[in-house]
């Protein structure tokens, strides 16, 4: 009987209580009136599966530490102006949330803010990371692309990667749908909404209380007058 109660108490503490606290999280109204977060568009949700299937979370985290705790913000990984950066609302639609445990590569919680909307350089980086970032430790994901032999007088398609020394003559490198989906997912990663938990500016510092050992101003004034 004692064992049963001990196991029941553990289940209540480690399973039920967290579920009651976090499991019913709902979207929150941001300071500009929008509900946050928004559901990712379909192709980005598809890209989330590509991200997970390729184990990107083994080398990239998606959690930014608050200002003053490490150098995350100084590295440009933060998306909010205040002290608090990542909060649980950021992961509301992620099942499971891919927070990551190592940072062999940069944090990606706000990579969508950094890369903008131009797909081309991101696709090139995924295909051959060292062509865009010499010395990168990221492996190439060339199986997300296909090599297409050009016909007579056929020009490379608009979607093809720029030809370089690694592109065989007479061929073009075209991103697959999975490559486009992965880029769409990366572009959707941004946690910059201003919420109740993330005020835009740090609270003002409290004024330091005057030391009781400091000489009174009046006494100083009188001494100077003598």
Q: What is the pLDDT of residues 160-216, one digit of tens each?
A: 999 888 888 899 999 999 999 999 999 999 988 888 888 877 666 666 665 555 454
What pLDDT was estimated at residue 223?
Answer: 43
CA separation for the pair 112, 189 (Å, rounded): 5
What pLDDT was estimated at residue 188?
Answer: 95
Extract the residue ranges of the chain whose pLDDT is less than 50: 214, 216-226
What pLDDT was estimated at residue 25?
Answer: 66
CA separation for the pair 3, 5 (Å, rounded): 5
What pLDDT was estimated at residue 171?
Answer: 94
33: left (phi > 0), else alpha (psi -120 to 50), else beta? left
Q: Which residue has the tokens 């010499």?
A: 134
Cβ neighbours for 62, distance < 8 A, ≥ 6 positions apart: 86, 91, 97, 98, 99, 100, 107, 108, 109, 189
Whether residue 108 contacts residue 61, with contact meaning beta carbons closer than 8 Å, is answered with: yes
């Amino acid at each position: 009987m004692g064992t049963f109660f001990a196991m029941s108490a553990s289940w209540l503490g480690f399973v039920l209580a967290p579920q009651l606290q976090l499991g019913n999280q709902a979207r929150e109204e941001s300071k500009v009136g929008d509900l946050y977060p928004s559901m990712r568009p379909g192709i980005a949700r598809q890209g989330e599966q590509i991200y997970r299937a390729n184990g990107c979370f083994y080398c990239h985290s998606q959690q930014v530490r608050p200002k003053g705790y490490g150098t995350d913000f100084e590295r440009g990984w933060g998306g909010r102006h205040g002290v608090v950066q990542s909060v649980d609302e950021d992961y509301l639609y992620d099942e499971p949330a891919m927070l990551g445990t190592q940072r062999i590569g940069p944090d990606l919680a706000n990579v969508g803010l950094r890369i903008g909307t131009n797909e081309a350089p991101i696709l090139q980086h995924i295909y051959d990371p060292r062509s865009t970032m010499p010395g990168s430790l990221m492996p190439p994901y060339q199986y997300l692309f296909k090599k297409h032999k050009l016909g007579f007088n056929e020009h490379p398609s608009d979607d093809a990667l720029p030809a370089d020394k690694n592109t065989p003559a007479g061929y073009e490198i075209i991103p697959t749908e999975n490559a486009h989906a992965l880029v769409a997912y990366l572009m959707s990663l941004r946690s910059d909404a201003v919420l109740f938990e993330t005020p835009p500016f740090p609270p003002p510092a409290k004024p330091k209380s005057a030391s009781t050992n400091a000489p009174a101003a009046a006494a100083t004034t009188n001494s100077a007058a003598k």
